């Protein structure tokens, strides 16, 4: 006998919604998973669980008896801000995707682009365009200090992967963390102390009211001369004008940006043409459909067995 209906609420293109529906139905054979558009008002009132992928908050509010929603994305800041824009707290719990495959993918991207900077690839690319043959000094990984802002599941694995590849790794989070081989800092004083040591600074923080434009001129000026910056988190965490200023005045050597406040990035945006910026189309850690479906299904199965909710976000903190 099937359990109550589970709604799939999404603004993705219909073919993608159908593909997700087929996958989730296969992984949840004892559940009745349906697209939101196929549910009547009465059926929506019966839903205690929803699976969401970029949902319309207005549509989600129609599920007045919802107990919890499983997101298929690791980042939920955009949804949280829309659901709490009037300072109210939704009645249901929101579970973000915690997927080991996603963490592996992010750590792979972090290592890839740290190596890109470590081996001076931006300099050589600029030289190629000018037909300049010039070699630059080589530094050992242990001579390069890399700092990671954000030590959640993604940040922790990324820090460990960098450490395994010989880099001197530092990490910062709002609360105290312990990671073998990584020197960890917390709170504001710890943030400044860490940043002052970093040749490469990587942002993996969630976007919240406390991290909005956290990376501004006051923070960037504490980086050593010639440092580089990578943002794989959210565009709103960086004060763009301050970042450009520190690139243009030579304080920073390069920035790799994978996330922006407006996506896709406007074709007229100055980021595209800046010779000290590498623009990426939000590719650092894409959701792996098969793995994400398995994680979501297991969370729902465990809830049916134990009535215990998966780890969910704090609406006030935003993560």
Burial of 274 (0-12, 13-18, 19+ CB in 10 A): middle
Q: Is there a domain that residue 134 lies in?
A: yes
Q: Tell me what percent of the chain is helix, strand and coil, each rounded to the nearest 5.
A: 40, 20, 45
pLDDT at 88: 83
Q: Is there a domain that residue 16 lies in?
A: yes
pLDDT tens digit sequence for 251-310:
999 999 999 999 999 999 999 999 999 999 999 998 999 999 999 999 999 999 999 999
Q: Is there a domain that residue 316 lies in?
A: no
HSE-CB for 41 with a 13 A CA cutoff: 0
Q: Is there a domain that residue 313 lies in?
A: no
Q: Is there a domain that residue 174 lies in?
A: yes
- Kindly name the residue from 183, 251, 274, 282 that is annotated as catalytic: 282
pLDDT at 181: 96
Q: Is there a domain that residue 222 lies in?
A: yes
Q: What is the mean pLDDT of residues 52-59?
A: 93
282 catalytic? Reply is: yes
pLDDT at 1 over 60: no
Residues making up the chain, counted from first to last? 319
Residues 291 and 190 in one domain: no
Report residue 106 CA to chain centroid gap: 9
**Residue 53 backbone phi and psi in degrees, to 5:** -145, 100
pLDDT at 54 over 70: yes
254 catalytic? Reply is: no
pLDDT at 2: 63
CATH of the domain at 79: 3.40.50.720
Q: Is there a domain that residue 135 lies in?
A: yes
pLDDT tens digit sequence for 141-200:
999 999 999 999 999 999 999 999 999 999 999 999 999 999 999 999 999 999 999 999
pLDDT at 193: 98
- Kindly name the residue from 234, 274, 288, 312 that is annotated as catalytic: 234
Q: What is the mean pLDDT of residues 110-127?
A: 98
Residues 76 and 119 in one domain: no
Residues 114 and 175 in one domain: yes
Strand partners, 34: 7
pLDDT at 47: 96
DSSP-H helix ranges across the chain: 14-27, 41-46, 57-60, 77-83, 100-118, 121-129, 153-164, 187-195, 217-220, 240-248, 289-306
Of 73-77, 98-102, 241-245, 264-268, the one with minimum mean pLDDT is: 73-77
Q: Is there a domain that residue 46 lies in?
A: yes
Q: What is the rounded distance in angstroms from the CA atom of residue 61 to the CA atom of residue 116?
A: 45
Residues 69 and 195 in one domain: no
Report residue 100 CA to chain centroid gap: 14
**Residue span of the structural domain in which 160 resides:** 101-279
pLDDT at 84: 86
Residues 112 and 261 in one domain: yes
Strand partners, 50: 7, 69
């Amino acid at each position: 006998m099937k359990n109550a209906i589970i709604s799939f609420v999404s603004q993705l293109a219909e073919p993608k919604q159908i593909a997700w529906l087929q996958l989730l139905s296969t992984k949840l054979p004892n559940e009745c998973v349906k697209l939101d558009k196929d549910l009547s008002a009465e059926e929506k009132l019966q839903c205690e669980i929803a699976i969401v992928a970029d949902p319309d908050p207005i549509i989600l509010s129609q599920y007045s008896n919802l107990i919890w929603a499983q997101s298929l994305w690791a980042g939920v800041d955009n949804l949280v801000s829309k659901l709490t824009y009037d300072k109210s707290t939704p009645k249901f719990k929101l579970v973000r995707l915690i997927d080991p495959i996603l963490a592996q993918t992010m750590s792979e991207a972090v290592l890839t682009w740290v190596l890109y900077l470590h081996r001076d690839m931006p300099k050589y690319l600029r030289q190629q365009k000018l037909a300049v043959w010039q070699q630059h000094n080589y530094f050992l990984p242990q001579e390069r200090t890399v700092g990671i802002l954000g030590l959640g599941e993604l940040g922790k694995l990324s820090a460990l992967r960098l450490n395994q590849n010989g880099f001197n790794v530092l990490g910062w989070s709002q609360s105290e963390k312990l990671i073998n081989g990584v020197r960890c800092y917390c709170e504001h004083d710890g943030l400044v102390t860490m940043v002052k040591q970093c040749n490469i600074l990587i942002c993996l923080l969630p976007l919240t009211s406390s991290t909005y434009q956290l990376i501004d001129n006051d923070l960037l000026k504490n980086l050593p001369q010639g440092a580089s910056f990578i943002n794989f988190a959210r565009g709103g965490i960086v004060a763009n004008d301050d970042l450009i200023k520190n690139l243009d005045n030579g304080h920073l050597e390069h920035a790799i940006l994978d996330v922006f406040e407006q996506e896709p990035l406007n074709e007229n945006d100055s980021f595209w043409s800046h010779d000290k910026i590498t623009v990426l189309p939000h590719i650092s850690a894409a959701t792996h459909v098969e793995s994400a479906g398995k994680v979501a299904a297991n969370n729902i199965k465990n809830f049916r067995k134990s009535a215990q909710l998966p780890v969910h976000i704090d609406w006030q903190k935003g993560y």
